[in-house]
């Protein structure tokens, strides 16, 4: 948990440093240079257009399972941390002087993997092992942003998401795997900072949740599983 909080705080501090540096550079210039090279006043047109973004950062997955059948019913959750890498395509439209709305399509790779094990019964020596990962998720988001000043935008987004469940179950006499995209949704927010004519940095933090799937095995045991995904990314992008 301390590692996660340190990562989140580092992303925020890093972006604020970049933002303050650009703002200071703007305000040190004369009136003509100020207008030509920077956008210290809120100007939503600077955020309008089509952009391609690549990001990397923290990705954590949690599997929530409800087990019934051979064992007394047990509900558990187990999670893992890893790295997330995302490719995102965005289209933004400016309105008024400080507003932006847009849509985003993205695909993400997640390295996180979770696993746990348990005995079939209290008196049994038969151990069941489970592993879960969600290596891919893809989705669409609607985004709304506000431009306070200094080439900076704060934004919120939400939309549908499809996560790829990769669930493996092993016990004596039974070995099975379930692999399928599952529908879900979620949202988050972030900060965006322009630099140069076409480039930008942005930090995003979001949370996604997915539907449940029930899997019944030949030994009579049943597993109902659903997943949650948390992501914090630092991204760089180019606007056309």
* Predicted local distance difference test score (pLDDT) of residue 39: 47
- Contact yes or no for 172/126 (Cβ under 8 A): yes
Cα–Cα distance list, 164 to 78, 121, 224 (Å):
17, 31, 16
* Predicted local distance difference test score (pLDDT) of residue 54: 97
Mean pLDDT of all residues in 32-47: 54
**Tens of pLDDT, residues 145-191:** 998 876 888 999 999 999 999 988 887 777 778 899 999 999 999 99
* Predicted local distance difference test score (pLDDT) of residue 203: 95
Dihedral pair phi/psi, residue 100, rounded to 5°: -140, 135
What's the fold here for domain 2-239?
A: Porin (2.40.160)
* Predicted local distance difference test score (pLDDT) of residue 23: 43
Q: Can you tell me the distance from the alpha carbon of 180 to that of 86, in angstroms, rounded to the nearest whole number?
A: 20
Percent of the chain residues topping a pLDDT of 90 = 44
pLDDT category at 222 given cuts 50, 70, 90 is confident
pLDDT category at 70 given cuts 50, 70, 90 is low
- Contact yes or no for 63/238 (Cβ under 8 A): no
Average pLDDT of every residue of the chain? 80
- Domain chopping of the chain, boundaries: 2-239
Mean pLDDT of all residues in 119-146: 84
pLDDT category at 24 given cuts 50, 70, 90 is very low
**Tens of pLDDT, residues 78-126:** 889 999 999 999 999 988 778 899 999 999 999 998 888 777 665 667 7
* Predicted local distance difference test score (pLDDT) of residue 30: 41
* Predicted local distance difference test score (pLDDT) of residue 175: 75
Q: Quick one: which H or E segment has residue 17? A: helix 2-27
* Predicted local distance difference test score (pLDDT) of residue 147: 87
- Considering 7-16, 67-76, 150-159, the range whose residues carry the highest mean pLDDT is 150-159
Q: Can you tell me the distance from the alpha carbon of 215 to that of 224, in angstroms, rounded to the nearest whole number?
A: 6
pLDDT category at 26 given cuts 50, 70, 90 is very low
* Predicted local distance difference test score (pLDDT) of residue 71: 66
**Tens of pLDDT, residues 201-221:** 999 999 999 999 988 877 777
pLDDT at 19 over 50: no
* Predicted local distance difference test score (pLDDT) of residue 46: 75
Query: DSSP E strands: which ranges in the chain?
Result: 49-68, 74-95, 99-110, 113-119, 127-133, 136-146, 152-171, 174-195, 199-210, 213-216, 222-239
């Amino acid at each position: 948990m301390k590692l996660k909080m340190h990562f989140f705080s580092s992303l925020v501090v890093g972006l604020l440093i970049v933002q303050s540096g650009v703002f200071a550079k703007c305000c040190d210039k004369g009136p003509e240079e100020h207008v030509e090279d920077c956008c210290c006043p809120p100007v939503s047109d600077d955020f309008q257009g089509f952009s391609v973004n690549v990001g990397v950062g923290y990705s954590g997955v949690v599997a929530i399972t409800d087990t019934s059948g051979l064992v007394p019913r047990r509900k558990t959750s187990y999670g893992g941390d890893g790295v997330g890498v995302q490719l995102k395509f965005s289209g933004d439209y400016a309105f008024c002087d400080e507003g932006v709305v847009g849509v985003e399509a993205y695909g993400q790779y997640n390295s996180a993997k979770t696993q746990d094990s348990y005995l079939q019964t209290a008196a049994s020596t038969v151990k069941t092992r489970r592993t879960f990962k969600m290596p891919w998720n893809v989705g669409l988001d609607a985004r709304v942003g506000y431009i306070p000043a200094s080439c900076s935008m704060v934004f919120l987004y939400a939309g549908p998401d499809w996560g790829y469940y990769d669930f493996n179950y092993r016990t004596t006499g039974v070995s099975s795997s379930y692999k399928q995209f599952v529908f879900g949704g979620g949202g988050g927010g972030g900060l965006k900072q322009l630099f140069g004519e076409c480039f930008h940095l942005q930090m995003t933090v979001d949370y996604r949740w997915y539907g449940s799937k029930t899997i019944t095995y030949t030994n009579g045991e049943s597993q109902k599983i659903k997943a949650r995904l948390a992501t914090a990314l630092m991204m760089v992008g180019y606007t056309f």
